[in-house]
A and B are shown apart, each in its own frame.
Chain A
Amino acid sequence: MALLTCDNLSFGYEGKALIRPLSFSVNAGDYLCIVGENGSGKTTLMRTLLGLQPPIGGKVLLDDGLRRTEIGYLPQQTRVQRDFPASVREIVLSGCQGRLGKRPFYGEEEKRRADEAMEKLGVAPLARRCYRELSGGQQQRVLLARALCATEKLLLLDEPVAGLDPMATEEMYRLIEGLNKEGTTLIMISHDMHYALGHASHILQIGSDWFYGRKADYLRSAMGRNYLRGGREGR
């Protein structure tokens, strides 16, 4: 069975669906890119997949072997309060919270994971710094490190490269791809069509209508061609 399946899923706010019901499934090892215009509902879809808001109709099904605690998430914006005193390490370590089970404290295993994740994302030198004093790009990496702590199975990333400089973007993409090669299933929201078409295995476009399929099929579809043409003239 697929890792995650949407069955006639509609989502939105206050009982009003944003788009017509959506059905697709993500298999282990897939790299799904969700594309669409601003305000089309990408973030809302992701929040619905994660169970942060209830679907208006239909279902989100998880594979039996996948526990909720094995899903990592990188939010588009965290509503972190401006004054929150927290060090980078504390935040990355909090990504392990799903692994605690009934234990009260993080053990060696979790600390090692956190250190590895920080190393991977190049934020290890910032470990003792205060999160709110970091630049936007650095904060983004810290949050990705946190997501990485949660799981290697399924990661949901909402615009992971927003606010990163070209070098860091490149690096972030390489990293994300590396994760996928190592077997992590990815669902990523991106506005970077060029990249999405270059590296994703599947594309989900949402808007007034939606399309889901393999990358090659998307390129041939009327919807995909349309969006790409529009995309070249700037969103």
Chain B
Amino acid sequence: MDKLILYLQYPIARYALIVGVLIALCSSLFGVTLVLKRFSFIGDGLSHVAFGALAVASVLRLSNGMLFVLPVTVLCAVLLLRAGQNAKIKGDAAIAMLSVGALAIGYLLMNLFSTSSNLSGDVCSTLFGSYSILTLDKTDVWLCVVLSLLVVAAFILFYNRIFAVTFDEDFTRAVGLSAGAYNLMIAVIVAVIIVLAMNLVGSLLISALVIFPALSAMRLFKSFRAVTVCAAVLSVVCAAAGILISIVTETPVGSTVVAVDIAAFGLFCLIGKLKKA
């Protein structure tokens, strides 16, 4: 406990907490959409792409990796969505190809060109999140804050449309709205979320951060709005708890947060069962 208080006296630790909570908030918002649409697949693929892009950025010794990773991931999101629309099976194959390819090439590049003495440590931290988000530099922190706020704003403004295309895309198109444009928007936002979340939990654990709060909320609530609100609150609480726990126990942040999410999921399942009985 003393340790916690000591740590929280550093502004950087407080910033990290804020950033972590904001990231968790964004990722939970699109959880339901991702779980229910084919996008969950795209999300997974994109996180690998982000890993590859980060590897390239580190090989090129870019001073700020995120400024490179973000556009690349967004671009891939757009491409994948296009591919997915043309033909279903081809789209899925394209995603698999791109994601596995990015993973392999990324690792290869890091191996070939890395100047770091601790290569496996570097790879591990990109895959599973840094040991601590305390290592984020100042630009990253600000970029995270701005992007998270944009994501939350976009979600609120397009809430009704997101609901509509997630529930029944055909109806949206039948009443003359452009489902394609909304899908594109969702894919782009998902890409942004993935790049953001990579800072917190690393590229392999992103799906957990996105999906667990939504799945937990769906055990208890029946309307889209209630599920969304519950997922957001749950995700924020879990992220805050996870970050604080990781400071005290000195465990890696990403996996601690995900572990707390999993525990919450278990709890919600239990409550759901009890409620039914």
Contacts and interface: CB of A to CB of B under 8 A. Distances in A.
Interface of A: 47, 50-52, 67-73, 75, 78-81, 83-87, 89-91, 93-95, 97-98, 100, 104-106, 128-130, 133, 146, 150-151, 156
26 contacts: A50-B174, A51-B174, A68-B175, A69-B176, A72-B175, A78-B171, A79-B168, A80-B168, A83-B35, A83-B218, A85-B221, A85-B224, A85-B227, A86-B223, A87-B224, A87-B225, A90-B225, A94-B171, A95-B175, A97-B160, A104-B156, A104-B160, A106-B160, A130-B222, A150-B175, A156-B174
B177 interface: yes
Contact of A98 (B167, B176, B217, B225): B176
Nearest to B173: A52
A47 B32 CA distance: 27
Given A68-B175, A71-B175, A98-B175, A87 B223 contact: yes
B157 A104 contact: yes
A100 B176 contact: no
B113 interface: no
B176 A128 contact: no
Contacts of B176: 51, 67-71, 98
Output the residue of A80, A83, A86, A89 with the most chain B CB within 10 A: A86
Contacts of B171: 73, 75, 78, 94-95, 146
Contacts of B226: 85
A86 B172 contact: no
Interface of B: 32, 35-36, 156-161, 163-164, 166-168, 170-177, 217-218, 221-227
Contacts of B157: 104
A73 B170 CA distance: 9
A94 B163 contact: yes
Given A98-B177, A100-B160, 8 more contacts: A79-B170, A83-B36, A85-B217, A85-B218, A85-B224, A86-B224, A95-B175, A104-B158
A83 B167 CA distance: 11
Contacts of B168: 75, 78-80, 94
A134 to B, nearest CB: 11
Contact of B174 (A52, A87, A90, A130): A52
**Interface pairs A-B: 7 shortest CB-CB:** A68-B176, A130-B222, A87-B223, A73-B174, A98-B175, A69-B176, A50-B174
Contacts of A129: 222
Contact of A84 (B36, B158, B217, B225): B36
A100 B171 CA distance: 15
Given A83-B218, A85-B222, A90-B225, A52 B170 contact: yes
Contacts of A130: 222-223
A71 B173 CA distance: 10
Contacts of A67: 176
Output the residue of B156, B173, B176 with the most chain A CB within 10 A: B176
B40 to A, nearest CB: 11
A141 B168 CA distance: 16
A69 B170 contact: no
Contacts of B217: 85
Nearest to B226: A85
Nearest to B168: A78
